[in-house]
Structure 1
Amino acid sequence: MLKRILFGVLSLLILFSCYEPSRICQDYKTGEFIFNYKIGDSLKQGRFVRGEKFSIDYYDSKIDSASIRWLNDCEFVLQDLKSKVGIHYKIIQTTDSSYTFEYKNAVKDPNRKNNVKIGTAYKVD
């Protein structure tokens, strides 16, 4: 009896450890997207339009532009055209209308912890 229970539990663990979230990143290389972000206690919504080589961000009544360099199908670096600051993005999961990503500074500062954040973008078009 105990052997059957252990076998069942181990079988379930093996089955669930094989689960990998969907990552169809090609669908999100270009297009128009919206995302939510927080400044202080305020939740806001931004929008960006990503083409083959550039991304234009619209947030807080501002427009910002960045170049895009794809590292592979699911990772890219956005480099702000004005400040030249680079942000590394990694798509970690996709659905039929959104993708979840993690992002961090592209260049690690040896004096600071590299803070990784997570967000979700929703495809508009």
Structure 2
Amino acid sequence: MKKLSMLLLTILLVSCNNHERNCKDFRTGKFEFTQNIDGKKNTSTFIRTEKLQIETYNGKTDTASVRWVNDCEFILQKLHPKNMKEQKAISMKILFTEKNSYTFEYAFVGSNNKQRGIVTKLE
């Protein structure tokens, strides 16, 4: 009886957490991503088309290819890597969306060290 009660409670909690995922709304456009690095707020802006992402961070611009795996997952691969680390592709997964933003999870392809972030759509 105790196990059944716990199972029902778990199902109830999971069903209440129904996040929206309108990933197609975020495939292309102009975006902004802000993260804290060593206690300092860092912001990058990027424009994403179906096949490219052009990002500007700290006054430097970089371009990556975009390969969509499905509506909510894509792989970024820098086109002009400057070192071995930049040669590694990054897996991006949109977890849920809101009106003008999405929460995503990212990691180097093959890595289990996933991080999360929030991106805001500007245009």
Range into which the TM-score falls when normalised by the shorter chain:
0.7 to 0.9
Runs of 4+ aligned structure 1 residues displaced above 4 Å come to: 9-13
* TM-score with structure 2 setting the length: 0.83
Q: Which amino acid is 1:55 matched to? A: Q
> Would you say how many aligned residue pairs link Structure 1 and Structure 2?
115
Unaligned segments of structure 2, at least 5 residues: 82-86
Residue 95 of structure 1 corresponds to which residue in structure 2?
98
What is the Cα-based RMSD across aligned positions, in Å?
2.1
Between the aligned partners of 1:22 and 1:75, the Cα distance in structure 2 is: 15
| Percent of aligned pairs with the same amino acid | 41
Residue 20 of structure 1 corresponds to which residue in structure 2?
18
Larger Rg: 1
Residue 52 of structure 1 corresponds to which residue in structure 2?
50
Between the aligned partners of 2:37 and 2:102, the Cα distance in structure 1 is: 22
Residue 78 of structure 2 corresponds to which residue in structure 1?
80
Q: Which amino acid is 1:90 matched to? A: K
Q: How far off its partner does 1:17 sit? A: 2.0
Structure 1 residues 12 and 47, CA gap change in structure 2 (3 angstroms): same
Unaligned segments of structure 1, at least 5 residues: 1-6, 109-113
